[in-house]
Amino acid sequence: MSSTVLPFASPWLSLNVCLCVSPAEFMPILGTNLNPEFISVCNNATWAIGEICMQMGVEMQPYVSLVLNQLVEIINRPNTPKTLLENTAITIGRLGYVCPQEVSPMLQQFIRPW
Ligand SMILES: *[C@@H]1O[C@H](CO)[C@@H](O)[C@H](O)[C@H]1NC(C)=O
C-alpha cells in the first residue's frame, strides 16, 4: 500500500501542510465525516475530498465508492444548506473530472435539467 504526500492547500489558510499518510487510511475517515447532521464537519470533509482528489487524480479511483453515495445523497436531500450544496456539487464535479468512469453511472441520480 503506497503512501502519498499530499500538499493540502486549505482555502482558509494560505498554508500548505503535508499529510504523510496513506489515502487508504484517511479516505474512509473522510467518508464517515460526510454526515449532514454535522454541517461544519461535513462541509470540511467534502471540501477536503475535492482538494485531495485534484492532487491524486486517477489514483483516487479506489476511493470514489467510499464517498460518492453519501455526496449524492447530500445533494438530493431537502434542506441541505446552500454552502454545503455548493461544496458538494464542486466535489462531485472534481470526482467526475478525475474518475469519469466511476462517476458517470451516477449522473442520473444528481443531474438536473436547467
Ligand atoms: C471547518 O474548517 C474551518 C476552516 O478551516 C474551521 O474553522 C472549522 O473549525 C472546521 N470545522 C470543524 C467542525 O472542524
Residue 1 within any structural domain of the chain: no
Residue 60 within any structural domain of the chain: yes
62-110 pLDDT tens trace: 999 999 999 999 999 999 999 999 999 999 999 999 999 999 999 999 8
Expressed in angstroms and rounded, the spacing between residue 39 Cα and the centre of ligand 1 is 10
State the cell numbers at 4.
502519498
- Give the whole-angstrom CA distance, residue 96 versus residue 41: 23
Residue 27 within any structural domain of the chain: yes
Residue range 31-36: average pLDDT?
96
pLDDT greater at residue 44 or residue 17: 44
For a ligand 1 pocket test, name from 34, 40, 83 the mutation site with the most ligand atoms within 8 angstroms of its C-beta: 40
Give residue 112's pLDDT: 79
Residue 5 within any structural domain of the chain: no
Long-range contacts of 75-83, Cβ-Cβ distance < 8 Å, separation of 24 or more? 75/110, 76/109, 76/110, 77/36, 80/36, 81/39, 83/43
- Give the whole-angstrom CA distance, residue 36 versus residue 14: 27
Residue range 6-35: average pLDDT?
73
- Report the domain count for the chain: 1
Expressed in angstroms and rounded, the spacing between residue 43 Cα and the centre of ligand 1 is 9
